[in-house]
Structure formats: structure tokens, C-alpha cells
Chain A
Amino acid sequence: MSDQLIFAMEVTLNGLMAGVLYALVALGFVLIYKASGIFNYAQGVMALFAAMTLVGIMNGQVPFSHLINALFGGHTTHFGWTVPSLVAILMTIAVMVVLAWLVQVLVMKHLVGQEPIILFMATIGLAYFLEGVADLMWGSEIKTLDVGLPQGINLWIDETTLGIFGYGFFIDNLDIVATVIAALLVTGLVLFSQYTKQGRAMRAVADDHQAALSVGISLNFIWVLVWSVAGFVALVAGIMWGTKSGVQFSLSLIALKALPVLMLGGFTSIPGAIVGGLIIGVGEKLFEFLIGPMVGGATENWFAYVLALIFLVFRPQGLFGEKIIERV
């Protein structure tokens, strides 16, 4: 087999792994969009916020220490203890649930019935707000996140492929773990929405708000629930990306990466988010590998969008989105 082909296979595999990570972020979007028709731009910042909170709790940082010190002239920045990662993750989940509740009570409750674009803008405002709060709470420097996930090259794949092709593939252990976790998460979410009472209520709300209200489902509760689940997904995405490339501002930009994934898959479809993520992940890695050198590289910045744009011209609702029916 030619070298080029083998490289392309490795690139494809890596693309699949990256696609899973994109899909993780896109999942959060789909959940909220399905249940409340809100296109939640803040999803990326929620991932950042969750990851920062997790690091902060694990290291025993004092929240808002920088601000408190500036105002009252203290020097305390740490409590002086460290929290085991599992406990910290549970605490972070609690924080995300509180956040979901706050968002619902303070923002979204007052915006019911507004046009979608207004809701979208509100989530952009929310994104700015959260980003500022996260920086004030935990400081804006780059942090490393280590919750004990395996990292580094997977030797087994390396050796096996070396045996077959005479060239070892470089696959990060973390990517494999991420794939497994994403698969578990999706299965869990599907089971949750199909077989539990709350899940059924969630789907009912997604179908028709008024009908759901009339059979006694509390919209408020469902929305808090949905935002909490989205917060949990954001935490998982935050852990994966944070472990991979450090907890920093650029983490919130993965939301932008998730947008073309959503467009490809359709805003309303969970399988769509997964398939879209894989297509985008593989597509952009292969394009960068094959065409990138000819046009000056760094095509990853825009390829996903252009692919999604061209795709949408032919199928405006995405791969798995609900057919858009327009009536006058």
C-alpha cells in the first residue's frame, strides 16, 4: 500500500476522533434547541465555565479571590486543600444545575414567546456574562486539567498497525476515551428521553409547548432540566477538551466548531449531531491533508462552514432535521 494512502487512513481515524468531540458539543445545542427552540450560543462558554469550575474546585481555589483581594487587600487565593476529581465533578454538576436554574429564572422565563432571534441574542449576552464571571471567579490564566484520564499515544494501535502496514498509527488514548464516553453519553441520553417520565415530558415539550402544558407538564421544570442536562454535557465536553488542550478562553470557541456540525446534522436531531460531527471531523482533516498544502494550510478554520453551506443549499434542513414546512 502506498504511503499516501496509509497516511490518509491515519488522518481519517484522527478525524473521526475529533468528530466525536465536536459531536459532544453539538449534543448540548441540540438538547436545548429541541426542548425550547432556543439556539444556545452560550454552550461553548458553559463548557469553559464548567471546566474552570472543576479545576478551581479540585485545586481548592477561593472563588473571586482576585476580586476580593483587589477590593479588601487580602492575599488568600487557595483554601489549601485539594479535592479528589470524582467529588469535584459531582460538585461541578451541582454548580451547573444551579446555573441552569438561575438562567431559567432570571433570563429565559422572561423571554417566553419572543422571536427566536431575540432568544439567540439573549444567549450571546449570557455567553459574555458567563465568560466574565468565570474569569472573575477563577482567574483567566491557562490551567491544566487532569482528572485521571489516560493520555498519550495508544501503544496497542501503534504496534498492531505497525504489524499490518509497516507504519504505526498515532492515536491519542484520550481520543479513544472520549469516543467511548461520547457513545455512553448518547446512549444514556436516548434511554433517558425514551424510557423515563421526565424524558417523555421533555419530548412532549419539544413537540408542542401548549399541548404539554395542558396535560400538566411544568414547562419551567422541564426547561431547568434541559439546561441542567446541557450543562452536564458541557461539563463532559469541557473535561475532554480541557484535558486535551488546557482550560483557557479558546475552549469557548469550540461552540463555533459545533455550529457547522449542527447545520449538517439538523438542529433537531441527536443522531444528526453525531453523524454531522463525524463527517465534519473527517472532512476537515482530510481536506487539510490533501488540499491544504496547495492553498496555504489552516483550512480547518473555514472548511467545515463552507462544507455545511454547500450542503445546505441542497438540503436546507440538514441531514436529519425535521422537514421545514412553510405555510402562509
Chain B
Amino acid sequence: MFYREAGDFKLSYVEDSQTFPIRFDRYRYFAVLAVAYGVIPFFVNDYWVNAILLPFLIYAIAAIGLNILVGYCGQVSLGTGGFMAVGAYACYKLMTAFPDVSMFIHVLLAGGVTALVCVLFGLPSLRIKGFYLAVATLAAQFFLVWLFNRVPWFYNYSASGQINAPERDVFGILVTGPNAPAWATYMFCLIFLTFCAVIARNLTRGTQGRTWMAIRDMDIAAEIIGVSPLKAKMTAFAVSGFFVGISGALFFSVYLGAVEVGEVFGINKSFLVLFMVIIGGLGSIFGSFAGAAFLVLLPVVLKVVGVDMLGWPTDIVAHFQLVIVGALIVTFLILEPHGLAQLWRVAKEKLRLWPFPH
């Protein structure tokens, strides 16, 4: 009844090309932003922020980044963990080298460094395609993790080989280190997520996004109609690397605080983010959010139900978690290969006709 184009007149080109053409969608978007910025920060506590909100926000950034590469440009990457590690270590080096500079700058620069590394490892994609490329990106994953483990310069010669985030602030408010207030870390990540999502949404709607999608759908045909594969693929790797780098930097500095690279940014991280993208929906920004939320919440819910409510031993619940995640992924792929985003799309189509479907 409320969700339809009818009666929503566009009077200028700007209005006609806005992100959310349906009025209800626009209001919903602003309502979500208002709640996220205006309500949640006042009610959060440490548990909620650390167990659910921070991982969700940070993984959503990573998922958006990977979705641009896999979902929009069709270049499958299994190196996300390694690229997140680049972001984390770049951020660490910057934080320790320039303690007085604002964290915002550090995180953005870390994203920039990751974009460069990502482009470097993306170069073979011009020759290698499909699965061969997916496996080739594993080279990035293993090489980068090894590099950060073995070259002491990266972890400032610390004895443990770990990196620890020193306390840094933004406009006088701590956002890293153990003393940072929960709401501040939440807001810090939220601002980055909003920033990334808006950029990603607009990039994918415009010329750049269409170039990517042309390459994804059929690269030879795209080349013939004048799309440069070099430019398209490299920009996709760069933009994706930028987002993934930001998420890696936040994951290390704001969320964990201390990182041992092999454990945190291992191959499992790459798969986790890829799962988020696939379960959420390839080629959809909303899907990145949905996938991240789903896979962050699932273990928490399972733990609450299994350990706290049913009283099972933790190791059995951990094994069950593997079984359930695996089964869910397979079920999802069978029932809805286009992910949660497709469910959302279908729901919106239905809503458009409701309550008079004829």
C-alpha cells in the first residue's frame, strides 16, 4: 500500500536518479541511519559492542569490498584474509610512526596501502580466469601472512611477534586500546561503514559499476564494445582492496587490539568473508550487510542456545556449529543461490502489489 512508485512524482533529473527511487525506501534508509547514529550509541554496553556490533560493522565493510570484486566484477578472490592483514599492519605501522595524527587518517591510509597491494596481486587476473584465479589469489593469502610473520620490521621487532594497538584518539576521544568507551568504538566503525557503503552503492550504480558488470558477464564481449579490461579489473581490485584494508585496520586496531597474523587473518577469514558475500547475495550491497549480520549472529545464537540453554559441553556445540554452518550454506545455495538479497528483492516485489495482487 505504501511501497510503490505511484504518486511519487520526479520533477528533476537529480530526483530521478537518486539512490532510492521509492519514497518508502528513502524513509526506511533515513530511519535506519537515525537509529544507528542517534539511538544505539546511547544503549550499547561492552558485551553487545564486542560480541555483535563491532564484528558486524567491520565484516560488513570487508564483505562490501569483496562483493565489488566477486559480485560486481566477477573476479573470485580467496585472498581477503591476507589483504585484511595488509590493512592491519599498515595501520599499525602508521599508528606507531605518527602517534599524533588522527585515527581517521591512519585507517584511510591503511586502506590506500591495501589497495596498492591488491592491485599488484590482481595483475595476474588479466591472464588467469575463473578457478585458476581463485587459487592464484591464495598465493597472496599465504605469502602475505608469511611475510608479516617473518619480517620483524612489520611488527616493530616485538618479542612476541604480535602487534598491539596503542591508544589513539579522534578529536580527543579514545577509539583504540582497552580503555576506549564502547560507544566510541561503535561510532568510529559505523562512520566508516556508512562512508564505504555510500561510496560502493554510488560506484556500482554509475559508469564504473557498469564497466565491472560488463567484464563480469562476458569479458571478451565487453572488450569488443570498448571496455578496457585492464582498467576495469584494476579499479575493481583497487576499490575492493581499499575497503578490505579499512576493515582489516579496524579489525585490528578497534576490535581486537592485539593480533597474531596467522590466527586472525588466516585462510579461514578469507572463506568467512566469501561466505558472507555468497549467503548475502553476489552483486548486492544490501546482501553484504545481510550476509555479515547472518554469519556474525549465527555462532552467537548457537552458543546461547547450545551452551547456555541446553547445557551441552562447549566442544560439542563447536562441532555442531560447523555442521550447521555447512548445512546452511548448502541449503542456501540449493534454495536461493542469489542469497538473502534475492529474498529481500522478492519481498519488495510482493510488497509493491500488496494488498491488491491483481
Which residues of A are in contact with B by a Cβ distance under 8 Å?
39, 66-67, 70, 107, 110-111, 114-118, 120-122, 124-133, 135-136, 140, 256, 259-260, 262-263, 267, 295-299, 301-302, 305-306, 308-309, 312-313, 316-318, 324, 326-328
Given known contacts A70-B312, A302-B143, A135 and B319 CB-to-CB distance under 8 angstroms: yes
* Cβ of B355 to closest chain A Cβ, rounded Å: 34
Binary interface profile of B, 308-321, with partner A (CB < 8 Å = 1, else 0)? 00001101100111
Partner of A126, one of B135, B145, B324, B330: B330
Cβ contacts under 8 Å, A120 to chain B? 131, 134
Which of chain B's residues 196-242 have a Cβ closer than 8 Å to chain A?
Answer: 218, 220-221, 224
The answer to whether B327 and A125 touch across the interface, beta carbons within 8 angstroms, is yes
Q: Determine if B130 is an interface residue (Cβ-Cβ < 8 Å).
A: yes
Give bound CA distance, A306 to B145, whole Å: 13
A-B contact pairs, 6 of them (CB 8 A): A114-B333, A129-B326, A129-B327, A140-B315, A260-B135, A296-B150
Cβ contacts under 8 Å, A318 to chain B? 132
The answer to whether A116 and B138 touch across the interface, beta carbons within 8 angstroms, is no
Measured CB to CB, the nearest residue on chain A to B136 is A309
Cβ contacts under 8 Å, B312 to chain A? 70
The answer to whether B139 and A302 touch across the interface, beta carbons within 8 angstroms, is yes
The answer to whether A111 and B278 touch across the interface, beta carbons within 8 angstroms, is no
Give bound CA distance, A114 to B321, whole Å: 27
The answer to whether A312 and B218 touch across the interface, beta carbons within 8 angstroms, is no
Q: Determine if B39 is an interface residue (Cβ-Cβ < 8 Å).
A: no
Give the 3 A-B CB pairs with smallest separation, nearest first. Answer: A129-B326, A132-B322, A125-B329
Q: Mostly helix, strand, loop or mixed at chain B's interface?
A: helix
The answer to whether A116 and B146 touch across the interface, beta carbons within 8 angstroms, is no
Cβ contacts under 8 Å, B274 to chain A? 121
Task: Tell me how many residues of B have a C-beta within 8 Å of chain A.
Answer: 48
Which of chain B's residues 133-157 have a Cβ closer than 8 Å to chain A?
Answer: 134-136, 138-139, 142-143, 145-146, 149-151
The answer to whether A132 and B326 touch across the interface, beta carbons within 8 angstroms, is yes
Q: Determine if B267 is an interface residue (Cβ-Cβ < 8 Å).
A: yes
* Cβ of B2 to closest chain A Cβ, rounded Å: 35
The answer to whether A128 and B143 touch across the interface, beta carbons within 8 angstroms, is no
Given known contacts A126-B330, A132-B326, A313 and B146 CB-to-CB distance under 8 angstroms: no
In the complex, identify which listed stretch (B16-24, B42-50, B121-129, B167-175) lies at the interface while the others stay far away. Answer: B121-129
Cβ contacts under 8 Å, A116 to chain B? 130-131
Give bound CA distance, A107 to B332, whole Å: 11
The answer to whether B323 and A129 touch across the interface, beta carbons within 8 angstroms, is yes
Partner of B271, one of A124, A126, A135, A312: A124
Partner of B150, one of A114, A298, A306, A317: A298
The answer to whether A262 and B333 touch across the interface, beta carbons within 8 angstroms, is no
Cβ contacts under 8 Å, B224 to chain A? 328
The answer to whether B151 and A125 touch across the interface, beta carbons within 8 angstroms, is no
Cβ contacts under 8 Å, A295 to chain B? 150
Partner of B131, one of A140, A267, A301, A326: A267
Given known contacts A121-B329, A132-B319, A313-B124, A306 and B334 CB-to-CB distance under 8 angstroms: no
The answer to whether B142 and A128 touch across the interface, beta carbons within 8 angstroms, is no
Give bound CA distance, A299 to B147, whole Å: 10
The answer to whether A259 and B138 touch across the interface, beta carbons within 8 angstroms, is yes
Cβ contacts under 8 Å, B139 to chain A? 260, 302, 305-306, 308-309
Given known contacts A121-B278, A326-B220, A256 and B131 CB-to-CB distance under 8 angstroms: no
Q: Determine if B103 is an interface residue (Cβ-Cβ < 8 Å).
A: no
Cβ contacts under 8 Å, A267 to chain B? 131-132
Give bound CA distance, A309 to B144, whole Å: 14
Q: Determine if B337 is an interface residue (Cβ-Cβ < 8 Å).
A: yes
The answer to whether A129 and B322 touch across the interface, beta carbons within 8 angstroms, is yes
* Cβ of B309 to closest chain A Cβ, rounded Å: 14
Partner of A118, one of B150, B271, B324, B333: B333
Given known contacts A126-B326, A316-B128, A305 and B142 CB-to-CB distance under 8 angstroms: yes
Q: Determine if B325 is an interface residue (Cβ-Cβ < 8 Å).
A: yes
Give bound CA distance, A151 to B334, whole Å: 45
Give bound CA distance, A140 to B321, whole Å: 14
The answer to whether B320 and A132 touch across the interface, beta carbons within 8 angstroms, is yes
Give bound CA distance, A124 to B330, whole Å: 9
Cβ contacts under 8 Å, B322 to chain A? 128-129, 131-132, 135
The answer to whether A114 and B135 touch across the interface, beta carbons within 8 angstroms, is no
